[in-house]
Amino acid sequence: MLRNFRKVFKGNQTPMTLVMGIVLVGLVAYLAPSTGSSEAPDNVMARVYGRDVLKRDTDRLISDMVTRMGRQANLEQMLPFLQQRAMGELVGQKLREELAEQHGILVTDPEVRQALEARLRKYPVFTTPEGQLRETIEINAILRENGQSLNQWETEIRGELTLRKLVDQEAAKVPVDEPWLNLENRVRNEKLSLETFTLNPDPTAVADPGDAKLAAFLKEGGARFQVPPRRVIQFVTLDEAFFGSSLAVDDAALKAAYDSKKGQYTELKASHILFKAQTEAEFGAAMKKAEALRPKLASQDFNKVAGELSEDPTAKANNGDLGWFKSASMAKPFVDAALTLKDGEISQPVRTSFGIHLIKLAGKRTKTFEETREELRAQLTGDRFTTKAKERLEQLRKRSGERGDLSAAARNLGLKVQTSQPFLDEPTVVIPGLQNAASVANEAFRLKVGQVSRLQRTGNSFAVFRVQEERPTAVPPLAEIRDRVLTAWKLEEARKVTAKKAMAALESGDLKVLGEAKSQDNTTLTALAELGQHPGIRKAILDTPEGKFTPVLWNPEGQVWVARVKSRTPAEPLNFEKRQALVRDIQRAGSEKLLISELQDLEAKGRLRPGFSSLWGRFGGIWINTEARSSKEDLPEAGDF
């Protein structure tokens, strides 16, 4: 067959050349990175070396974060930050999976199952009185009460085992020789007594030298003042002042709002007894306890009994007294039952996700219309502003199009367009005219040049912006970064003055100039934490004889630092066991550094190939879906009792 193929090929070179050319063009087109997202399914938030990050993954992770910190009033404003954090964690997870595959790491199902069982056995709630693990259905029910699942735990454990195997594999590649061992033994176990002095440079004492010197300083600094790509945006903001009296709310609207929200202004004072339950069997047992106890409470002190019997963790301290609380702050079954009670009355058993409650009402009060008038006025005014601002800015977006200039559309709508100075994507960024500039900057770097943003809440305003241009990596002119250059100039001059002052004090022996000494006795370099990890300071302390001063150095806080070594007690020689343990520690620390470096390299290479549908996007790149977003509707409600 091969011989026949060669004959055909020799006799038909032109057609075969044409076919091979078409194949080659198709392959090149397929390999070419694709930055568009049009072919990406809506549920795919990212693709990392062929591994998809799905929307349900990011929503689940964001939900976990919200559960841990509690649902807050500004959740909508926090969502971009939470989504960025969740995306970072999930992309990192996929990168670790890719690195593990490249290293040939395999975690088997039996290994995961064994580790999962070990974790479950750490918590008595997952075991029966006989010490056996509960059924999978029961375990999942318990986990769901805390917003988790067995599948999540399995995924976490698989990741932990993978990382452990990676670290162990890399550790074997770290060669540890005798000098390294001895040095590490000294760092960890040699006892030192030090007398340290620090001096702070004072940049405020340095005068502004003028543009000529700063320009020369900037030129000499070169890459020191180089900045990564910066972006420029057109933006329109709207605040309440823009709409003026059209936001005013009359008394009739206020009264109607009060009547519709009256329940929100009702506060209750109550005590409760809780019998905890998670499974149906436990709920049944808890219900029997509550039903048996309720008749006895008529002749007993409710709060005293709560302190003795309630399974609420706070009951021992407060005897079940919940104090005054808003009805909206408790779970609906609890509030519904409490609202039907008269003062001093005890409820029938009430079921919530925490278990079975008996509730005793101590008081009920409702704020009057007059007490809530201004609060309602602020709420309704804010609601009207939000509605009007969203309508006007959505009109702007619609007229501008996804990639249109904002100027003409804004002019027709009576809106003012502003253009920012070039800015970086950093938490401390300031964009004059925009509140909450950091979140705007972050969003601006997620969009493509020319793209118009979605509506953004920026403090007390709403904004829409368009990414006008991206400035490449460069050293900006002095006019753009004068404040930064001046700050660097002043600090450098102040450091020179401070270092000279310290060296002069050591030469003269007049240590008063250095200020009060700080003594650190019977310590180790490891115990000095960041200071002991500083290569220059660590070497200086190890090399300086007793009774002598170290050279003048700079500590991690940017202070002049000098020390006198008062005494040192040598580390004990290593025996076999300690030597082996120290080698393992050194190798593990070294392997972690190697893996971090490999992961950073993997990420950097992947982000150079951001295609979704290309071969790079499928197997060797990192693509982020900048269009997809989570909304607060995707997240669970947080509740109390």
Supply the CATH number for residue 545's domain: 3.10.50
**Residue 144 and residue 67 in one domain:** yes
Q: Please, which residues have CB within 8 angstroms of residue 149's CB and are 6 or more apart in sequence?
A: 140, 143
Nearest-10 Cα torsion for 295, 300, 304, 306:
0
Domain boundary residue, one of 569, 585, 617? 569
**CA distance linking residue 541 with residue 46, whole number of Å:** 49
Query: In this prediction, what percent of the chain has a pLDDT beyond 70?
Result: 87
The last residue of one of the domains, among 569, 585, 619, is: 569
The pLDDT assigned to 16 comes to 45
Q: Three-class SS string for 421-473? A: CCECCCCCCCCCCCCCHHHHHHHHHHCCCCCECCCEEECCEEEEEEEEEEECC
| Structure confidence at residue 618 (pLDDT) | 58
Residue 433 has pLDDT above 80, yes or no: yes
Alpha-carbon torsion 15, 19, 22, 25, what sign?
negative
* pLDDT at residue 11 in the model: 46
Q: What is the pLDDT of residues 594-604, one digit of tens each?
A: 999 999 999 98
In-domain check, residue 576: no
Q: What is the DSSP string of 179-235?
A: HHHHHHHHHHH-EEEEEEEEE---GGGSPP--HHHHHHHHHHHGGGG-B--EEEEEE
In this prediction, residue 168 carries a pLDDT of 92
More confident residue, 96 or 615: 96
Based on the fold, state whether residues 239 and 325 are members of the same structural domain.
no
Residues 314 and 266 in one domain: yes
Domain span at residue 316 reads 251-371
In a domain, 292, yes or no: yes
- pTM assigned to the model: 0.56
**Residue 401: what pLDDT?**
81
Q: Is the residue at 180 inside a domain?
A: no
Tokens of 106: 């395999």
Bridge pairing between strands 355-366 and 51-54: unpaired
Question: What is the residue whose two structure tokens read 């609207």?
Answer: 253
CATH label of the domain that carries residue 465 = 3.10.50.40
* Same domain, yes or no: 165 and 88: yes
Query: Do residues 273 and 326 share a domain?
Result: yes
Q: Which of 554, 569, 584 is the last residue in one of the domains? A: 569
Residues 128 and 206 in one domain: no
**Cα separation, 112 vs 115, whole angstroms:** 5
CA distance 115 to 157: 7
Q: Are residues 422 and 445 in the same domain?
A: yes
Residue 553 lies in a domain: yes
Any idea which residue has 């006795």 for tokens?
521
Same domain, residue pair 409 and 445: yes
282 falls within a domain: yes
Residues 6 or more apart whose CB falls under 8 angstroms from that of 602 comprise 49, 95, 98, 99
Let me know if residue 353 belongs to a domain. Answer: yes
CA dist list (Å): 150 to 29, 82, 113, 183: 43, 24, 11, 46
CB-count burial class (<10 Å; 0-12, 13-18, 19+) for 6: exposed
Residue 444 and residue 400 share a domain: yes
Tens digit of pLDDT for each residue in 112-158?
999 999 999 999 889 988 889 989 888 988 888 777 788 889 989 99
Query: Over the stretch 43-99, which tens digit does the pLDDT of each residue have?
Result: 888 899 988 999 888 888 888 787 766 555 566 667 778 888 899 999 999 999 999
pLDDT of residue 325: 86
Each residue's pLDDT tens digit, 388-404 = 999 999 999 999 886 67
Share of the chain above pLDDT 90, in %: 57
Tell me, yes or no, whether 56 and 148 share the same domain: yes
| Contact by Cβ (8 Å): 233, 331 | no
Q: How many domains does the chain have?
A: 5
Check if the beta carbon of residue 49 is closer than 8 Å to that of residue 619: yes
Let me know if residue 461 belongs to a domain.
yes
Quick one: 159 and 55 in the same domain? yes
pLDDT at position 633: 54
- CATH code for position 93: 1.10.4030
- Same domain? For 365 and 258 the reply is yes
Does 574 fall in a domain?
no
